[in-house]
C-alpha cells in the first residue's frame, strides 16, 4: 500500500453496510432521474435544514417541538414507504464499505481505473437517497470473476456529505447498541 493510500484510508471512518446501489459509467442512465428518487433526496435535505430550527425551538415551546417531532416521524414513515416502491428499480441491496470519501463494492462489471462513474444509492433502513459521481481508484479481480471496485466520490456537495456522515454515525451507533446487547447475557 502506498503512503497516499494509507492517508486516504485514514481520512474517513468506514463502515460495512448493505445498500441499494446503481452504478453506471454512462451519465445518460442518470439523466432521466426518478421523481420519487429526487423526492426522497429532497425530504432528507429538508430534514437536515430543519434540525437547527428544532434545536432552537426546544428550549422555548415544548408543545410545538413535540408536534413538529410527530410530524417529522410521519414524513419519515412516508419516505420509507416511497423507498420500498423505489427499491423495485434497484438490484438487491448489496454489501459495501462506505465512508464520506468513497466506497468499495463487488461487481460483475469492470470499470477502468480513473474512469468516472455515476452512482445512485439508497442508504437503508432510513432510505436516504443519494446521487453521486465518483472516480474509480482501485479494481481487484476475485477468483469468482467479481471485481472489487473502490470509488472516490467527486463533486460531493456539503448536503450529500452530511447525509453520508449522518448515515455512518447512525450505523455506528446501531453497531454499538448491538454489541452491548450481545454482551448483556454474558454479564447477567
79-109 pLDDT per residue, tens: 878 777 777 777 788 999 999 899 999 988 8
Contacts of 120 (CB under 8 A, 6+ apart): 21, 22, 23, 30, 37, 90, 129, 130, 131
Q: Which of 16, 18, 14, 41 is closest to 30 using CA atoms?
A: 41
Q: Give the span between the Cα atoms of 87 and 92, in whole angstroms.
A: 8
- The answer on pLDDT for 14 being more than 80 is yes
For 102, counting Cβ atoms within 10 Å of its Cβ (0-12 exposed, 13-18 middle, 19+ buried), the class is buried
Confidence of residue 30 (pLDDT cuts 50, 70, 90): low
Confidence of residue 2 (pLDDT cuts 50, 70, 90): low
Cell of 103: 466506497
Mean pLDDT of 133-159: 89
Cell of 13: 471512518
- The answer on pLDDT for 138 being more than 80 is yes
Q: What is the pLDDT of residue 11?
A: 64
- The single residue listed with the C-alpha cell 460531493 is 156
Q: What is the mean pLDDT of the chain?
A: 81
Query: Do the beta carbons of residue 111 and residue 5 sit within 8 Å?
Result: no
Q: Which domain holds residue 97?
A: 3-187
Q: What is the CATH number of the domain that holds 112?
A: 2.40.10.220
- The answer on pLDDT for 19 being more than 60 is yes
Q: What is the pLDDT of residue 45?
A: 78
Q: Give the span between the Cα atoms of 64 and 46, in whole angstroms.
A: 18
Q: How many domains does the chain have?
A: 1
Amino acid at each position: 500500500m502506498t503512503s497516499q493510500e494509507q492517508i486516504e484510508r485514514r481520512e474517513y471512518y468506514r463502515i460495512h453496510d448493505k445498500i441499494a446501489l446503481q452504478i453506471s459509467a454512462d451519465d445518460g442512465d442518470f439523466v432521466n432521474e426518478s421523481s420519487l428518487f429526487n423526492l426522497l433526496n429532497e425530504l432528507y435535505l429538508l430534514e437536515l435544514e430543519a434540525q437547527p430550527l428544532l434545536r432552537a425551538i426546544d428550549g422555548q415551546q415544548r408543545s410545538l417541538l413535540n408536534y413538529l417531532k410527530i410530524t417529522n416521524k410521519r414524513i419519515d414513515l412516508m419516505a420509507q414507504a416511497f423507498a420500498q416502491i423505489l427499491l423495485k428499480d434497484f438490484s438487491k441491496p448489496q454489501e459495501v464499505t462506505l465512508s464520506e470519501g468513497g466506497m468499495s463494492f463487488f461487481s460483475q462489471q469492470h470499470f477502468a481505473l480513473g474512469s468516472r462513474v455515476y452512482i445512485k444509492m439508497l442508504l437503508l433502513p432510513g432510505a436516504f437517497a443519494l446521487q453521486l459521481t465518483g472516480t474509480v481508484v482501485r479494481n481487484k479481480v476475485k477468483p469468482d470473476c467479481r471485481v472489487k471496485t473502490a470509488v472516490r466520490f467527486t463533486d460531493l456537495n456539503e448536503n450529500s456529505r452530511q447525509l453520508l456522515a449522518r448515515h455512518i454515525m447512525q450505523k455506528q451507533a446501531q453497531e454499538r447498541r448491538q454489541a452491548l446487547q450481545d454482551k448483556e447475557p454474558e454479564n447477567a
